[in-house]
Structure 1
Amino acid sequence: MSRPIPTIILASASPARMETLQNAGVDPQVIVSGVDETGIGADSVSELVASLAELKATAVHDQLLDLPGGERRPRVVIGCDSLLEFEGLPFGKPGSVSAVVERWRRMRGRCGVLRTGHHLLVDGAPGTRRTVVRNKVASATVYFAAVDDDEIEAYAATGEPAQVAGGFTIDGLGGPLIERIEGDPHTVVGISLPLLRAELRSLGLGWPAFGG
């Protein structure tokens, strides 16, 4: 008898991550972790996004284990977190129009590294009865156009950049302001599909089995 394919569970409220998976043929179940990210520190931006991704995935995994029969369900819980590393500092969501303007005046004509942490908790991987853990960080360098003040203010006024990591998108209104990406562009959107495929494959879970 063939083993059941684990359910993909995305521990994130991000529409961009959800759409990225769906566009690749994977239709995940979404369960928002609800963890408090304030006060979490780390020695580097990479370590910080890895820790935040772990918190999200673990919180959702624990919720599922508490359900009746939850410890026996085959599943892949994916937690992600993204931050822009710019001048050695972590840039998250600006939160306001004024913060977007200030940030873009610093970033224009320069580059930063978008880092996305991925934490996978896998129940039901072939050949094991325990939960398998994978924690990886994907990085991509983002080159920002030398935009003028009017372009910055117009973009900030849309409201989009205030609510996304780094204060920009490549798959939305911010796309024209990004000159190029070095690395996996999905990393910038918030979830690296090549990384996810490779990690699942290493556990004997082929990407086509999930519909991708």
Structure 2
Amino acid sequence: MVADPPPELVLASASPARLETLTRAGLTPRVVVSDVDEDAFAAPDVPGLVQVLARAKAEAVASALAVGAPDGGGPRGDVLVVGCDSLLELDGEPLGKPGTAEEAVRYWHRMRGRTGHLHTGHHVIRLGGVSGTTSGVATTAVSFAMLSDAEIAAYVASGEPLHVAGAFTIDGLGGAYVTKVDGDPHAVVGISLPLLRDLFAQVGVRWHSLWRPAGT
């Protein structure tokens, strides 16, 4: 008896770090970026906000895939869409992508020597013959070194902090400034592999079924 092929994995995110994390884990997602306006959404708290945003991204891409089908009748085959969003919570406030050097400096003046919580929302939609939807949030405590003003200026000047949630990375230049992580380190990069494994199982997909064939 021949097993059914696994669904096609679609990542609804432009994040290179998320793509690389999945790729290193043996998966081969296709990237389809949503056009969601993140500023148009709100929630009572930061975990709720990342979940709302992750869902919006996944639903936007799932809708685009359905519309893009040749007969307009829905997606072709079995498709697994994953949407994610991350925000750093500090003093109850969300710190997203600073966008400008001035904002990144302000973030780091608040963050240095302290611990924040990086929340990453995940939303999974399975389309095709088998359908299902599920979601979850991974929260990781991240402690930051007591950076000097000169260190902050140098890091911001590198450009790396401007386009990542909380103005830091753990897998790049910012790794030297993270002194402790309490929780899933993958979630700090922007996608929690253990949580995603559980979410896939909830829609009937075994994690190992998505691994690339040996030698590819």
Cα pair 2:54 2:83 within 8 Å, conserved = yes
**Separation of aligned partners in 2, 1:131 and 1:44:** 29
TM superposition shift of 1:147: 1.1
Deviations 1:144-182 (A, max 9, x none): 001111111110110110110000000001000000100
Q: TM-score, normalised by structure 2?
A: 0.92
Deviations 1:18-70 (A, max 9, x none): 00000101010000011111221110001100000011000100111121263
Q: Which runs of 4+ in 1 moved over 4 A?
A: none
In structure 2, the residue matched to 1:176 is 176
Deviations 1:54-95 (A, max 9, x none): 110001001111212634520110000000011000000111
In structure 2, the residue matched to 1:159 is 159
Distance 1:202 1:131, change over 3 A: closer
In structure 1, the residue matched to 2:45 is 44
In structure 1, the residue matched to 2:117 is 113
Q: TM-score, normalised by structure 1?
A: 0.94
Q: What letter corresponds to residue 117 of structure 2 in structure 1? A: V
Over the matched positions of the two proteins, sequence identity in percent amounts to 50
SS of residue paired to 1:5: coil
**Separation of aligned partners in 2, 1:105 and 1:203:** 43
Q: What letter corresponds to residue 124 of structure 2 in structure 1? A: L
In structure 2, the residue matched to 1:24 is 25
Query: 1:1-212 to 2 correspondence within 5 Å?
Result: 1-66=2-67, 67-68=69-70, 70-123=74-127, 129=129, 131-211=131-211
Cα pair 2:78 2:130 within 8 Å, conserved = no
SS of residue paired to 1:38: helix
Q: What letter corresponds to residue 36 of structure 1 in structure 2? A: D
| CA RMSD, Structure 1 to Structure 2 (Å) | 1.3
Distance 1:101 1:19, change over 3 A: same
Q: What letter corresponds to residue 76 of structure 1 in structure 2? A: L
